[in-house]
Amino acid sequence: MHINPTRRRTAALSLLAVSALAGVTLASGSGAADAHDYHRPIEIGVFGDMPYGDYGRAHFPAVLSDINRNNVDFSVFVGDTKNGSEPCFADAHESDPANPTPENAIADATHPDVYKAALRAFNSLARPVVYLPGDNEWTDCDRTSIKDGQSADSNDRLAYLRSLSYPTNKSLGRHTMPLVRQSKAYPENVRWADGPVTFIGLNVPGSDNNFSLGGKEGPAAEGQAEYAARNAANLEWIRKGFAEAKANHSRGVAVFLQADMWDPSATLTHYADTKKELFTQTTAFKGQVLLVDGDSHHFVVDKPLTDYAATNAAGLAGPNTVENFTRTTGFGEDQNHWTSITVDPRDQNLFSVHQHVIAANVPHYTAPTG
């Protein structure tokens, strides 16, 4: 399997097979292809899990510049605008006085508002960018391990992020595109369409989907209540997105979220509902489904979704792979690069994934000794 390290439309890594022949009819926004232009390839930038600390902040401008230089149709940021140990500094704002988590991360001249800094970065991109939140900018803000004990309430930070980042039904970026938002309660959950694909964005973060256990990372009851309501909204948004794709005869669905729901080093218990819904919708969809996530910081292209069989079609122990479902995980943390996805209606494979490794962000390697 070859993965091209640069953007190429003619020599792409073929991932997915397609079946349906018609395209979507929803209009796309400024900077994106006309939804009726079924024969024009679309190029999508994907990045996330950056900048992490001073190292990431030094490298992040090169990522933004490279995305601008490649002139993608639009980009999606799949969460984590900071690392998990840094405080969630925010300018003073109204918060819930009944909230039990101490508020110790008010921004000042030395520690600027991290949410406004992220917005400035996104709005430096020439083309539209869709921002989906990760765990580090809200779920993990009340961690006991936050630097210098400067914790903040996770629900407060999510509310603050929502009010700042999603004030309209448009994307971020110097040029914007219209988005369909799920509701005022869940404005980060979005849907849009371009060419033959319906796109779905969801707030599914790392840290076990914000299901606090035993108060280890903040008040358990608060995390569990938030999870239950948002999880129900997410499942409904997945169902609506696939229904929209079928109604518009989309050849593909692309789902974006932060959590790596197959990371073997993470607690994955509270992603079961999301995986089940993706299984149900994908196996009932005639086209191809691409899931794009972040969180684990290692570039991957794989097929991790399976059915629930004890013995697969070949008679071997274990489930069957859902073959019209492909997942890609992007770079992040100490690897400050980005990926792109080409949607080419002229290609029988529809989707292809490319890595963009920025030479200036590659470290000096240490040779073996002895």
pLDDT, mean of residues 303-331: 97
Contact of 200 with 191, CB cutoff 8 Å:
yes
Strands (E), 330-370: 338-343, 351-356
Q: How far apart are CA 310 and CA 216, in angstroms?
A: 35
Q: Which residues 6+ apart lie within 8 Å of 57 measured at CB? A: 51
Lookup result for tokens 């197959």: 262
Per-residue model confidence as pLDDT tens digits over 63-120: 999 999 999 999 999 999 999 999 999 998 876 666 656 678 999 999 999 999 999 9
Residue 238 has φ and ψ, to the nearest 5°, of -60, -45
pLDDT band at 2 (very low <50, low <70, confident <90, very high): very low
* Strand duo 42-47 + 74-77: pairing: parallel
Cα angle at 348 between 30 and 276, to 5 degrees? 80
Structure tokens at 1: 């399997």
pLDDT, mean of residues 280-307: 97
Question: In this model, does residue 24 exceed pLDDT 90?
Answer: no
Q: 168: closest CA among 178, 182, 159?
A: 178
Domains of the chain: 42-361 (3.60.21.10)
Structure tokens at 243: 């229904």
Question: In this model, does residue 354 exceed pLDDT 60?
Answer: yes
pLDDT, mean of residues 267-288: 97
Q: What is the DSSP string of 11-72?
A: S--B-----------S---TTS--TT-TTS-EEEEEE-S---HHHHHHHHHHHHHHHHHHT-
Per-residue model confidence as pLDDT tens digits over 30-45: 334 344 456 789 999 9
Q: 343: closest CA among 30, 3, 29, 35?
A: 35
